[in-house]
């Protein structure tokens, strides 16, 4: 009778030879690979097809990378030797995608650049701040001055993107890394991105490569997953037994989900906070609903796969899709797709305005979006959109609703008959940057008839001025004077105006200092969220000396993970002004509009 050690050696030998890790002919996949995976489930038993990105993009070459002549060389043709490319310089954004200049780290020591990247917030509340950080991490750039260190700058960039939930960005960046670069942390990030994107082809290929180097616990658990996914239940169970015989500790979540995938059992999970990428891939593959607390977790990487999965409860999918779009991780089209797939009873759509009024959740907002497609007249469509925008303001999600309905608003012809709709329509279009379409609605409300109308017009003028400057609205000092008059008796309006003046000054507007003096009030004290004392002076110095990458990172750090509505003018003003001095005026205006809307402007 063979010993336990002999049985273990024999089984490992079979695994190594590929007999146990065999796959059906052709690649296996859960869904087609693309930056935003579709919600359609593909069963492992179906005929596998080659998985290809839906939006194939050629990554820009790393700065300083040499190109080689065709090989073999023809007589009389000089062949250059391929130079080594610094992996830290690799990026995947082109100028048209928002790439920052390749000299973005000029003047910044490597040690400081590494520290700033490692400190970037994982859950930025500002959509503009997130986008700036993402572009900083994805842009091809000459490495900063200083000796290379471990971990590589590339690893730090990929880890920050992963912490931000930028799953597709991590996948794109690491696929652009030269194949000769072998780093354990990069391997883990590649594998996690494949799991979260449901790219079983990529995950299983990475696992096979890892097994060729070392039979780690992570690789062996991944191997069992790939075997189960391919329908090789017996081989998967053998792999699980080998893990036990090798002395690896039990993994309750993984073991429970593997049992569900192999045997069709219904797992009971305690919560979502401990779910890892492989667990999320197992949940999807086993067609299991996630734990109920997923909707409350602050982990965007968890939101992504569960919002895509048809097995996720409808209301939870709607909430996750809304959060992903609000963060800039998903497009409006992706959120709309989830809304259109949601299971909403017909009776909810029969009285959408009252139903949505009574339901402040993402489901209530989905009711209105679904109801919009039923409306045949401009009046009826305007009524639905107006309600959606009003509820968006009430529930602090106006910007997301503006993006969701922008196309529909633009399709409605501005008219005096719809003057009641004009303020909401114009505000939404300004927020999403559709200035030409906004002008028509702004003209409808240019001559307000009462005090409330004038106040609304002043607010809209201020928002438009922040968004587009002189190109959108002329300077109107009289509007600010009128606003100051109202603010003397309305404390909330005074706070809103102070924030507006700080943002306007940061953008270079000719704000009269007299207006500030009018807003001084006795006993005006309140706790505010302030960043580290070193951040704003450092940002000012980086901006003054044109250290772009350093300045962008410091701006993102100053915004942090604090709600924009809670950041005071003494923070917002310097950040917006710093971006202007760095040459990022469009981004500065976008941040100013975002901050103003968050404060109720």
Interval 326-346: pLDDT, tens: 999 999 999 999 999 998 887
DSSP per-residue string spanning 120-180: S-SS-S-HHHHHHHHHHHHS--PPPBS---SS-HHHHHHHHHHHTT-HHHHHHHHHTS-TT
Tell which wins on pLDDT, 506 or 6: 506
Q: Tell me the average pLDDT across 164-172.
A: 91
Q: For 588-599, what is each residue's pLDDT tens digit?
A: 999 999 999 998
Reply yes or no: is the peptide bond before residue 490 cis, omega within 30 of 0: no
Q: How far apart are CA 109 and CA 111, in angstroms?
A: 5
- What is the residue extent of each domain of the chain? 344-434
Give φ, ψ of 86 to 5 degrees: -70, 115
Q: How far apart are CA 85 and CA 66, in angstroms?
A: 8
Identify the pLDDT of residue 85. Answer: 52
Q: Tell me the average pLDDT across 30-48.
A: 35
Identify the pLDDT of residue 582. Answer: 97
Confidence of residue 18 (pLDDT cuts 50, 70, 90): very low
- The answer to whether residues 279 and 257 touch, using CB atoms and an 8 Å cutoff, is yes
pLDDT(156) > 90: yes
Q: Tell me the average pLDDT across 2-17.
A: 43
Confidence of residue 57 (pLDDT cuts 50, 70, 90): very low
Q: For 373-425, what is each residue's pLDDT tens digit?
A: 999 999 999 999 999 999 999 999 999 999 999 999 999 999 999 989 999 99
pLDDT(251) > 80: yes
Q: For the chain, give the percent of residues with pLDDT over 90.
A: 49
How much is the CA Rg of the chain, to the nearest whole Å?
Answer: 27
Q: Tell me the average pLDDT across 278-307.
A: 82
Is the pTM higher than 0.75? The answer reads yes
What six digits make up the tokens of 224?
């069992």
Q: Tell me the average pLDDT across 53-71.
A: 39
pLDDT(80) > 70: no
The region of weakest confidence among 264-268, 318-322, 387-391 is 264-268
Q: For 540-587, what is each residue's pLDDT tens digit?
A: 999 999 999 999 999 999 999 989 988 989 999 999 999 999 999 999
Identify the pLDDT of residue 449. Answer: 65
441 beta partners: none
pLDDT(181) > 90: no
Q: Tell me the average pLDDT across 424-430.
A: 95
Q: Tell me the average pLDDT across 183-192.
A: 87
Q: Rounded to whole angstroms, what are the CA distances from 177 to 146, 158, 288, 290, 434? A: 21, 11, 34, 33, 37
Identify the pLDDT of residue 302. Answer: 79
What six digits make up the tokens of 509?
């507007």
Identify the pLDDT of residue 74. Answer: 39
pLDDT(12) > 50: no
Q: How far apart are CA 240 and CA 568, in angstroms?
A: 54
Identify the pLDDT of residue 527. Answer: 67
Q: For the chain, give the percent of residues with pLDDT over 70.
A: 83
Identify the pLDDT of residue 501. Answer: 93
Identify the pLDDT of residue 2. Answer: 45
Tell which wins on pLDDT, 347 or 92: 92
What six digits make up the tokens of 594?
């975002």
Q: For 96-126, what is each residue's pLDDT tens digit?
A: 999 999 999 999 999 999 999 999 999 899 9
Give the ranges where 488-526 is alpha helix by DSSP (H): 491-506, 513-519
Identify the pLDDT of residue 33. Answer: 39
Identify the pLDDT of residue 98. Answer: 94
pLDDT(17) > 80: no
Identify the pLDDT of residue 295. Answer: 65
The region of weakest confidence among 132-136, 178-182, 273-277, 323-327 is 178-182
Average pLDDT, the chain: 82
pLDDT(3) > 50: no
Confidence of residue 36 (pLDDT cuts 50, 70, 90): very low
């Amino acid at each position: 009778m063979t010993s336990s050690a002999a049985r273990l050696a024999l089984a490992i030998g079979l695994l190594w030879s590929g007999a146990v890790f065999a796959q059906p002919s052709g690649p296996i996949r859960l869904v087609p690979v693309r930056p935003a995976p579709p919600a359609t489930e593909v069963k492992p038993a179906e005929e596998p097809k080659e998985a290809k990105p839906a939006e194939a993009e050629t990554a820009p070459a790393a700065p300083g990378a040499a190109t080689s002549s065709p090989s073999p060389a023809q007589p009389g043709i000089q062949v250059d030797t391929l130079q080594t490319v610094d992996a830290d310089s690799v990026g995947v954004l082109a100028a048209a995608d928002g790439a920052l200049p390749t000299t973005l780290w000029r003047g910044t020591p490597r040690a400081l650049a590494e520290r700033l990247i490692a400190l970037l917030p994982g859950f930025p509340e500002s959509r503009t701040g997130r986008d700036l950080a993402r572009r900083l991490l994805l842009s091809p750039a000459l490495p900063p001055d200083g000796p290379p260190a471990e971990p590589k700058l590339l690893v730090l960039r990929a880890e920050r993107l992963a912490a931000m939930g930028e799953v597709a960005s991590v996948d794109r960046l690491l696929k652009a890394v030269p194949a000769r670069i072998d780093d354990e942390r990069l391997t883990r990030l590649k594998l996690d991105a494949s799991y979260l994107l449901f790219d079983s082809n990529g995950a299983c290929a990475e696992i096979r490569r890892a097994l060729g180097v070392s039979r780690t616990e992570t690789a062996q658990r991944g191997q069992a997953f790939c075997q189960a996914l391919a329908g090789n239940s017996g081989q998967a169970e053998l792999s699980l037994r080998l893990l036990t015989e090798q002395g690896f500790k039990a993994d309750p979540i993984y073991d429970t989900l593997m049992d569900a995938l192999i045997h069709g059992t219904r797992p009971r999970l305690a919560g979502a906070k401990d779910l890892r990428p492989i667990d999320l891939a197992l949940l999807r593959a086993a067609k299991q609903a996630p734990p109920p607390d997923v909707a409350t977790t602050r982990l965007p990487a968890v939101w992504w796969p569960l919002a895509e999965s048809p097995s996720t409860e409808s209301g939870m999918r709607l909430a996750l899709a809304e959060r992903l779009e609000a963060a800039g991780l998903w497009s409006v089209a992706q959120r709309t797709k989830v809304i259109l797939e949601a299971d909403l009873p017909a009776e909810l759509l029969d009285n959408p305005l009252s139903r949505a009024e009574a339901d402040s959740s993402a489901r209530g907002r989905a009711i209105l979006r679904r109801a919009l497609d039923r409306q045949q007249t401009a009046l009826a469509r305007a009524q639905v959109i107006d309600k959606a925008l009003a509820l968006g303001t009430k529930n602090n999600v106006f910007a997301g609703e503006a993006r969701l309905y922008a196309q529909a608003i633009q399709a409605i012809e501005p008219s005096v008959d719809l003057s009641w709709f004009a303020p909401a329509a114009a505000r939404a279009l300004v927020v999403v940057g559709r200035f030409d379409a906004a002008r028509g609605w702004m003209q409808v409300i240019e001559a307000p008839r009462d005090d409330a109308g004038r106040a609304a017009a002043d607010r809209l003028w201020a928002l438009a001025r922040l968004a587009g400057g002189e190109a959108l609205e002329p300077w109107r000092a009289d509007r600010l004077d009128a606003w100051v008059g109202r603010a003397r008796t309305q404390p909330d309006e005074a706070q809103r105006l102070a924030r507006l003046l700080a943002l306007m000054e940061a953008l270079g507007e000719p704000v009269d200092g007299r207006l500030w003096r009018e807003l001084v009030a006795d006993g005006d004290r309140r706790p505010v969220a302030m960043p580290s004392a070193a951040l704003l002076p450092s940002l000012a110095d980086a901006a003054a000396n044109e250290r772009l990458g350093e300045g962008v990172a410091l701006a993102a750090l100053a915004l942090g993970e604090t709600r924009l509505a809670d950041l005071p003018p003494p923070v917002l003003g310097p950040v917006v002004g710093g971006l202007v001095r760095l040459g990022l005026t469009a981004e500065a205006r976008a941040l100013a509009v975002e901050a103003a809307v968050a404060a109720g402007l």
